[in-house]
């Protein structure tokens, strides 16, 4: 296996044109402590409370240790129904959805994609099981997002995530080749890039801390790393785009809808539904067959394609 280098840290105080140029060059931006760690840890606590109520955490242990019980189930293409019991409990959390709207995060996204900003209502939680060899392989998000290719993902670890816990790795410059052919896999998302790229040189990762944010373009190839600890790894995927660009219907409904219920049910006990609200003027488009590709050539305003 090719050794993995360190992510380059982006300066959030830098000029917009510098950040956009770095995104164009590398396909990602890694911000150290962009978010207040206390805000991230508060969301982590809410997620852990929800998992404890579902019996997913070991009895007699501190909740923050995230030690799992025997009831945990892997997320995969045809997940065990017991997985969704826990996943629905996370999706019901107002605080989880509101983390995507943290002002430090949305103001950065406005700088990158412009106004008006659309925060996708589909918020994704990830639960990495301990010592599970079944990790998400190299893939691009565009075949899963559809709509506009100019969607940025913010990957946020819910708590500290040292290297032995895994986290995420990205392949800088991989976005330049545009949309890659895909192959089916039985795990999360159901797709990977068809060409074997895991041993390509240049992959980057980090030991992530609460408050760090890794932003990448939907054409940037990325993959999960194995969790070698005895604890659950908790993270989130939040997605952003310019609201004038096309968006697919699937990005506007809850993750794993309809197994996960619609937003009106998820938000029934919330004090505000702003975290899932969208403007009425969106250009909503159909998805495409990822094995065929979109009907039109892939073009981008944010990155330069070879």
CATH assignment of the domain containing 171: 2.60.120.620
pLDDT at 2 over 90: no
User: Does residue 182 sit in helix, strand or coil?
Assistant: strand
Give the residue with greater pLDDT, 305 vs 306: 305
Residue 284 phi/psi, 5° resolution?
-95, 130
- Segment 268-282 shows an average pLDDT of 96
Q: Is residue 292 part of a domain?
A: no
| pLDDT computed for residue 275 by the predictor | 98
CA distance 12 to 293: 35
- Segment 108-114 shows an average pLDDT of 98
| pLDDT computed for residue 81 by the predictor | 87
Range of the domain at 17: 5-285
Please state the domain count of the chain.
1
Tokens encoding 212: 């760090």
Q: Is residue 300 part of a domain?
A: no
Query: E strand or H helix at 191, and its extent?
Result: strand 191-193
CA distance 140 to 192: 7
Q: Is residue 130 part of a domain?
A: yes
Q: pLDDT band at residue 221, thresholds of 50, 70 and 90?
A: very high
Q: Is residue 305 part of a domain?
A: no
* Radius of gyration for the alpha carbons in the chain, expressed in angstroms and rounded: 18
pLDDT at 265 over 90: yes
Query: E strand or H helix at 53, and its extent?
Result: helix 37-53
Q: What pTM value is reported for the model? A: 0.97
Q: Which residues are CB-contacts of 120 (< 8 A; sequence separation ≥ 6)?
A: 151, 238, 239, 240, 241, 247, 251, 252
| pLDDT computed for residue 79 by the predictor | 75
Average pLDDT of the chain to the nearest whole number: 95
Q: Is residue 110 part of a domain?
A: yes
| pLDDT computed for residue 78 by the predictor | 74
Whether the CB-CB separation of 79 and 268 falls below 8 Å is answered with: no
CA distance 65 to 28: 30
| pLDDT computed for residue 186 by the predictor | 80
Q: Is residue 137 part of a domain?
A: yes
Cα–Cα distances in angstroms (integers) from residue 16 to residues 13, 34, 229, 272, in the given order: 9, 15, 38, 32
Closest CA to 159 of 93, 236, 228: 236
pLDDT at 1 over 50: no
Q: Tell the residue number behind the tokens 């360190």, with chain if given.
A: 6
pLDDT at 15 over 60: yes
pLDDT at 205 over 70: yes
Q: Which residues are CB-contacts of 171 (< 8 A; sequence separation ≥ 6)?
A: 27, 138, 197, 200, 202, 203, 204, 220, 221, 222
Q: pLDDT band at residue 187, thresholds of 50, 70 and 90?
A: confident
Least confident of 29-43, 98-112, 180-194, 214-228: 180-194
Using a pLDDT cut of 90, give the percent of the chain over it. Answer: 91
Q: Is residue 299 part of a domain?
A: no
pLDDT at 60 over 50: yes
Bridge partners of residue 195, in order along the sequence:
none
Count the residues in the chain: 306
CA distance 306 to 66: 43
- Segment 86-103 shows an average pLDDT of 98
pLDDT at 306 over 90: no
pLDDT at 213 over 90: yes
Cα–Cα distances in angstroms (integers) from residue 132 to residues 65, 91, 165, in the given order: 18, 23, 11
């Amino acid at each position: 296996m090719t050794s993995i280098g360190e992510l380059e840290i982006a300066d959030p105080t830098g000029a917009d044109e510098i950040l956009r140029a770095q995104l164009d060059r590398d396909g990602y931006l890694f911000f150290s402590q962009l978010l207040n760690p206390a805000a991230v840890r508060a969301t982590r606590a809410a997620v852990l409370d929800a998992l404890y109520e579902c019996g997913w955490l070991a009895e007699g242990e501190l909740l923050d240790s995230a030690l799992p019980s025997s009831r945990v189930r892997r997320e995969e293409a045809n997940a065990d129904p017991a997985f969704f019991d826990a996943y629905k409990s996370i999706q019901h959390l107002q605080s989880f959805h509101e983390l995507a709207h943290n002002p430090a995060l949305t103001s950065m996204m406005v700088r990158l994609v412009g106004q008006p900003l659309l925060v996708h209502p589909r918020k994704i939680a990830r639960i990495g099981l301990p010592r599970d060899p079944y990790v998400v392989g190299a893939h691009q998000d565009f075949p899963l997002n559809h709509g506009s290719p100019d969607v940025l993902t913010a990957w946020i670890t819910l708590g500290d995530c040292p290297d032995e816990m895994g986290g995420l790795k990205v392949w800088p410059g991989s976005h330049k080749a545009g949309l890659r052919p895909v192959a089916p896999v039985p795990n999360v998302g159901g797709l990977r890039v068809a060409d074997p790229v895991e041993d390509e040189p240049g992959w980057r990762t980090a030991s992530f801390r609460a408050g760090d944010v890794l932003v990448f373009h939907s054409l940037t190839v990325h993959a999960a790393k194995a969790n070698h600890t005895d604890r659950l790894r908790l993270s989130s995927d939040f997605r952003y785009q310019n609201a004038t660009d096309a968006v697919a219907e699937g990005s506007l409904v809850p993750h794993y809808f309809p197994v996960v219920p619609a937003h009106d049910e998820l938000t029934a006990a919330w004090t505000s539904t702003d975290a899932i609200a969208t403007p009425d003027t969106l250009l909503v488009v159909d998805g495409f067959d990822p094995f065929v590709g979109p009907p039109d050539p892939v073009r981008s305003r944010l990155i330069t394609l070879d």
